[in-house]
Structure 1
Amino acid sequence: MVKKQQATITYQSEMNQFHLSNGEISYLFQVSSDEKLLHLYYGKALPEKDYSYLVEMHHRPMTTYRQENDLLYSLEHLKQEFPEYGSTDFRHPAISLRQENGSKISDFTYHSHKITSGKPSLENLPATYVEDENESKTLTVTLKDSLTGVEVELLYTIFSELPIITRSVRVVNKGNQTQAIEQIASLSLDLPDAEYDWMQLSGAWGRERTIKERPLQQGIQSIESTRGISSHQHNPFVALKRKNADEFQGEVIGASFVYSGNFLIQAEVDTWDVTRLQVGINPFGFEWKLLPNESFTSPEVVLVYSDTGLNGMSQAFHQLFRKRLARGNWREKDRPVLINNWEATYFDFDEEKLVSIAEKAHDVGVELFVLDDGWFGERNDDRAGLGDWFVNEKRLPKGIGSLAEKVRDLGLKFGLWFEPEMVNKDSKLYREHPDWLIHTPNRKENHGRNQFVLNFGFDEVVDNIFNQMCKIIDESKLDYIKWDMNRPLTDVYDHRLDIRQQGEVFHRYVLGVYRLYEMLVTRYPNVLFESCSSGGGRFDPGMLYYAPQTWTSDDSDAIERLKIQYGTSLLYPISSIGAHVSMVPNHQTNRITPIETRGNVAFFGAFGYELDLNQLTPQELIIVEEQIKFYKKHRSTIHNGSFYRLLSPFDNDNQTAWMVVSKDQKTAIVAHYKGLNEVNRAFQRMQLKGLNSQFDYQIKQQSYSGTELMNAGLVITDSSSGQIIDQNDQTETHDFDSRIWVLTKEER
């Protein structure tokens, strides 16, 4: 039996050194002679000893120094844990406080520390957690600025069985003057060199989380959001990988921000090739007024180290997010196969049409029927109704309860779409409360999709929406909620806050979203929540704390989804990836792909359908029924197994492959997807990953050893490699074909 690793945090007082380790990774820093925190090392586990030699100091021209008559000790040339600007360090700081006299200079020095078992929660913020205190250790280091009395608590949690450290910061004003936080980084990590490639997930609506790479250069490289949401444009994640690193080898550092609003992730490389990686709330448009005796807590950063490449990093994130970020009854429960009516009906529906779709869905094995936009208020198009969360009696004169009952009588669960954060001006809510919009006084409001943003910084706004939603949830006995958010924030201002608090509006909004989510998941623990923001505009770890799955993209084309889901898997577990089979021609690309391939792509996510089953042919309905049977049989393996990316659509536009292996390694599911057919294509074998070398596996009545499948590989050549002579011996291939192999251990 393998002994489980234990996280340890040691403080060696004679060297003033801290060492966080779990046998797989180490993180070290020490307190300097003038009480500053100097970073020593982060990476593969090291033995306990004195690492003071890693603090290197040399005299350099044009350098400023901390102490008179000392030409060695300058923070400009030292790696730090919580750097500040202006007291010999000229790089970007982790914190910037503006004092009442206008000064932004601070000098935080070591005050105390404590080491505890387990992991504390963060006030009003989503964060990873543990269920047993032996799962992690936490170090809290308190720094103090003696002039202002402000204290900073740096929180480091190291997990016992994952190569993961989390970081966050709490600022406490123990002085007698008001402070303004202008910048706060939850993570600041100084690395000793710049020999990394920067990897980010970027894109736009319909093409989210595209993998982009570039070498680090001297200067600053960054990604950010200023939209009030984490955004389609850049996901709050970055990986720094060594030049020789790929999917299965080499060192990779991954950093993910557990936050759903404006963020900034940057790597600053100085001209001595030291890399400073910082992650936190975007200082653009941010300022937090901190009165005496008040505190501010920054969101959490999850830091992963892997020496087994990108897949090693991804699997660490997957395990943590799936089991210790997602919460509640649905965390590891099999997700129901759903059908959503949106692309089938849009706004054109009534109870009879919806029930007919639900009846057909039941016949093929669907488990959850979801009614999307249009069921509420005076909602006949996207110009009216948002904010009025009561039934649209013109469409559903018998009420939402009647429809829910009919669907439930068929044996299906029932779900609804909401967009709680938005309002149309043509609505009862707006007519009664026009001041509830986020808007700037004396200026015209800007709209997005004919809708405006409610100010979730107001408690009464959040409470109103909560009460409206509760009535509908109770009436319909809801099983599922799709929470959408279809535009970024503009005109950001809060007329209830004073001038010095206008920089708080973005963050207060996000806290209001979290508060509504928390109230709902607490009151309705059996409801499955799926987050959405015009698809993947707010697919971030903060949302996973409340909703264990996210609608990945409004682009449901299977071939487009290969890149989207591949990129998403770099960070997020397969169980969180909402993936549906939609109608063809596809509504976003007009592409026609085989229904088999549409299913084979959607299997690797939270599976469902986005179409009208009544429009399918009898043969297609048979395929749908078989797809649902396959998914039900294997969904536990798909969601809880280890995921491996094999062929990247970003490296080869014509092929994608991935696989998932069950925890016990007795089952594996391998998928291969092809783009356009090629004439006389090459023979091809693909090496599999994650199998047990001692097992024999059966694939379509043939036996293979785990060793040969991982080394010699699986033959994936298709019939386009040569001219078809005997139609009985070879299967004809077409554009956008795909194949799935199920591997099962042979029992002897």
Structure 2
Amino acid sequence: MIEIGGNDRLWVLSGRRGSYALHLTDHDELLHLHWGPRIAVADAEALAAEPGPPERGFESPLDGREEFPVEGGPRFVRPALSVRAAGVRGTEWRFQHGVVSDSGFGDELRLRFHDPVHHLGITLHYRMRDGGDVLERWTTLAHTGAAGDDPLELLRADSAAWSLPARDRWRLSHLYGRWGAESRLARTGLTPGEKVIGSRRGHTGHQHLPWIALDGGEATEESGEVHSCALAWSGSWRIAVQRLSDGAVQAVGGVGHDDAGQLLLAPGESFTTPVFAGLWTDGGFGAASRAWHAWQLAQVIPGGPGVDRPVLYNSWEATEFEVSEEQQRSLAHLAAGLGVELFVVDDGWFGARTSDRAGLGDWTPNPDRFPQGLGPLADEVHGLGMRFGIWVEPEMVNPDSDLYRAHPEWVQHHPGRARTEFRNQLVLNLARPDVRDHLWERLDTLLSGAPIDYVKWDFNRSFSDAGWPGDAYPQRMWIEHVRGLYELLGRLRAAHPGVAFESCSGGGGRIDLGILGLTDQVWTSDNTDPLDRLAIQHGFSQLHPARVMAAWVTDSPNAMGNARVSSLRFRFVSAMAGVLGIGGDLTRWSEAERAEARDWVALYKRVRPVVQHGELYRLRPPDGDGLSAVQYVRGEETVVLAWLHAQHYGEPRPPLRLRGLDPGARYEDLATGEVHRGAVLGHRGLRTGLCGDLDAAVFHLRKTDRVG
């Protein structure tokens, strides 16, 4: 719902529980008023009538109060917009009009401004979809001049700025990490000054996810005010959070890692930034996560709510590059015997790909390994009752490949500079239309030539030599590569609607709301150690739902090299917290292990609708060596996954106080038949019975009736 007041210069956007308000002064200053509990237009008008801070020579009355701070004028905060044309920098805008319309996804507010000196049109977009509290914001910048006018250089073009009022203290939450240890949660006090997170790598990155949360220091998992925001972009990005001298906070975020220049706009051209979405809740970090999850399941992730992701098997750890058709057939038969629903052939099926040194870019089946192409293997996999998938890495090329020999100019490079080869590969420049056309032709032919149901799309190195020789403004490649990726994925999805896609980047190097709008799930981390994964999955769940979190059961000890040995039970229960997959060498598993795995897969299928589509409650975080647990609630069912990391002498295992249940109802354990009262489960808790080191359990409860 969008309401208008203040002589048509004040707007209030309201969702299920919260409101967002802004107004335009008589001097065309767009000021932020409110982001919090629901308010009426009259409340917003009262806020607009309050006097602003006094003017002082060393302070700006606009800083921290403006809805979208631009460069220039009486401003000293970090600008969300910096523009240069004919040597003139800065922006002075004039309000033109505000429009509220039905965008097809809910009401959208568009505020249009114009800078007559730069011939720059600026449109700020706001949308809050029906039934939720996530506010989507983005910006469109257009060169409105005539042919022959100077181009506009966008030095910085952020999507939005988020303003928060003064508090005694603010606390910042964000996700950090590295390859093999992604999505770790950090929660620290926000001191005066700036905190900047982002990626300079050309992709989202393993080091940070584009999400932050801010609270006053008192929020818990289930209570307290939390403001959070997330950027829908899969390339280099930056979020800067500034605590000002008066205790207020402003966060700006968008594409690119610096202010050195992003795009040139010629007359008639425009640029629309990605969405920078925000959410307010008074239900703590747990309620924030559940709201983010519901919004993504309903509005972002392909397929819509209620679509289950299948149990998959991936052949990489069993075969690596030693791929053959007969070997893959044998693995497929073993996987089908476990109840697997999707069989994926990983790297090594194409070109001259017998190692990571050759073949990348040549997307045709290796004729020695697959003499008749992928069709016969895919048909056999389908005959076993499974779907068939393959691994690709289309944005990369080996120097030892037919593609590179034909088109060395297609890779990112700087003339006269040493070439960097991570993993013996180079990055193709997807900003080039001819590169995208080639990839479309090869991938469309591949997907049309065999019954392929699933594509694992990998990206195994960062940008390092990000040059585009011959282009008039080569730095635009940082943005245009990502837009080219989105275009290519969208085109493939439209042409092959039955094919599902997974985003992978050496694990969790490309996870964000942008890529999730075009893929069905993401590879969370290359680290499949089940204990390490608990912390990774805990951080991932702060923003993203279990429905997209791929998690594998692999061999023990784990291939990551920590030498930890864990039971099949612990490995399965860890991976059942998301989209279950298996990646071990099944030819080395004993018949007893395969029989146990078969039972775990069957159990996962029974709890899958609750795990993948239910509301998540983080009961105990994995921040020590004791007990951790998560709970999912969907309708009358609830599922609890619990892990005991280690047990110490004399240390009791605390019961798990469940959430989201009807206190006046009974709940039956579907495995044991034991009946629990909802009030007791919520107050006293569920006893897990776990003991020893690396123990785990699954509890599946269903509401039976109300207590008399």
TM-score above 0.5, yes or no = yes
For 1:286-685, what aligned pairs fall within 5 Å after superposition? 286-328=261-303, 332-498=306-472, 501-588=473-560, 589-650=562-623, 652-662=624-634, 664=635, 666-685=636-655
Q: Secondary structure at the match of 2:597?
A: helix
What CA distance in whole angstroms lies between the structure 2 residues aligned with 1:78 and 1:481?
45
Which SS does the other structure have where 2:245 is aligned? coil
Structure 2 residue aligned with 1:737? 695
What residue ranges of structure 2 are gaps of 5+ in the alignment?
none
The aligned amino acid for 1:358 is: A
Residue 574 of structure 1 deviates from its aligned partner by 0.4
**Distance 1:619-1:113 versus aligned 2 partners, 3 A rule:** same
| Alignment partners' CA distance in 1, 2:152 and 2:325 | 57
Partner of 1:154: 124
Give the C-alpha shift of residue 745 in structure 1.
Answer: 1.2
Q: How far apart in 2 are the matches of 1:104 and 1:654? A: 57
Post-superposition offset of 1:22: 2.6
Partner of 1:117: 102
Structure 2 counterpart SS, 1:319 = helix
Corresponding residue to 2:51 among 22, 44, 56 = 56
Q: 1:150-173 deviations in whole A, cap 9, x for unaligned? A: 110000001231111100000111
CA contact (8 A) 2:214 2:228 kept: yes
8 Å Cα contact 1:252/1:306 also seen in 2: yes
Number of equivalenced pairs: 696
> Following the alignment from structure 1 to structure 2, what is the Cα–Cα distance between the partners of residues 454 and 515?
15
User: Which of 28, 37, 45 is the equivalent residue of 1:35?
Assistant: 28
- 1:95-122 per-position Cα deviation (integer Å, ceiling 9, x unaligned): 110121x121211232101001235xxx
Partner of 1:94: 80
What is the alpha-carbon distance in structure 1 between the residues aligned to residue 465 and residue 496 of structure 2?
34
Letter in structure 1 aligned against 2:189 = P
| Shift of residue 517, structure 1, vs aligned partner | 0.3
Coordinate RMSD, CA, aligned: 1.6
Q: CA deviation at 1:683?
A: 4.6
User: What is the CA-CA distance between 1:507 and the residue it aligns to?
Assistant: 0.4
The residue identity in structure 2 corresponding to 1:310 is F
Task: Report if aligned partners of 2:308, 2:547 keep a CA contact under 8 Å in 1.
Answer: no
Which one of the candidate residues 79, 91, 110 is aligned to 1:106? 91
Give the whole-Å Cα distance in 2 for the aligned partners of 1:29 and 1:508. Answer: 32
User: 2 CA distance for matches of 1:675 and 1:634?
Assistant: 23
- Matched to 1:51, the amino acid is A
CA displacement at 1:357 relative to structure 2: 0.9
After TM superposition, the structure 1 stretch with the greater mean CA deviation from structure 2, 229-238 or 684-693, is 684-693
- Contact 1:657 1:670 (8 Å CA) reproduced: yes
1:76–1:91 CA contact under 8 A, matched in 2: no
Structure 1, residues 327-365: CA drift from partner, whole Å, max 9, x if none? 24x764222211100001111231111111111111221
CA distance in 1, matches of 2:551, 2:91: 49
**2: distance between equivalents of 1:356 and 1:561?**
29
What TM-score, normalized to structure 1? Answer: 0.91
User: Given the alignment of the two structures, is residue 140 of structure 1 paired with residue 110 of structure 2, yes or no?
Assistant: yes
Q: Residues 522 and 15 (structure 1 numbering): CA distance in 2 closer, same or farther, change over 3 Å?
A: closer
Q: CA shift at 1:23, angstroms?
A: 4.6
Pick which of 639-648 and 46-55 moved more: 46-55
Write out the 4+ residue segments of structure 1 that deviate beyond 6 Å after TM superposition.
none
Does the C-alpha gap of structure 1 residues 717 and 54 become closer, same or farther in structure 2, counting only changes over 3 Å? farther
- Residue number in structure 2 paired with 1:164: 134
Structure 2: which amino acid aligns with 1:222?
Answer: V
Cα 1:55/1:15, change in 2 over 3 Å: farther
C-alpha contact (below 8 Å) 1:37/1:109 kept by paired residues: no
Cα distance in 2 for partners of 1:573, 1:324 equals 13
In structure 1, the partner of 2:205 is 231
SS of aligned partner of 1:746: strand
CA distance in 2, matches of 1:683, 1:610: 32
Amino acid of the structure 2 residue aligned with 1:22: G
CA deviation profile, 1:523-565 (whole Å, cap 9, x unmatched): 1111111110001000111111111200111001100110111
SS in 2 for 1:714: coil
Letter in 2 for 1:113: G
Q: 1:75/1:504 Cα in 2 relative to 1: closer, same or farther (>3 Å)?
A: farther
Give the deviation of 1:78 after TM superposition.
Answer: 5.8
Distance 1:62 1:431 in 2: 62
Indicate the residue corresponding to 1:12 in structure 2: 5
- What secondary structure, in the 3-state scheme, does the structure 1 residue paired with 2:221 have? coil
Question: How far apart are the structure 2 equivalents of 1:488 and 1:683?
Answer: 44
Q: In structure 2, the residue corresponding to 1:444 is in which secondary structure? A: coil
- Partner of 1:627, secondary structure, is helix
Aligned-residue offset at 1:587: 0.5
Instruction: Name the amino acid aligned to 1:167.
Output: R
Structure 2 distance, partners of 1:591, 1:23, is 46
Letter matched to residue 697 of structure 2 = R
What does residue 126 of structure 1 align with?
Answer: none
Cα distance in structure 2, aligned partners of 1:29 and 1:421: 42
The separation in 1 between residues aligned to 2:410 and 2:245, in whole angstroms, is: 49
1:590 Cα deviation (Å)? 2.3
State the Cα distance separating 1:60 from its structure 2 match. 4.8
- Matched residue SS, 1:188: strand
Do the aligned residues in 1 keep the contact of 2:83 with 2:89 (CA within 8 Å)? yes
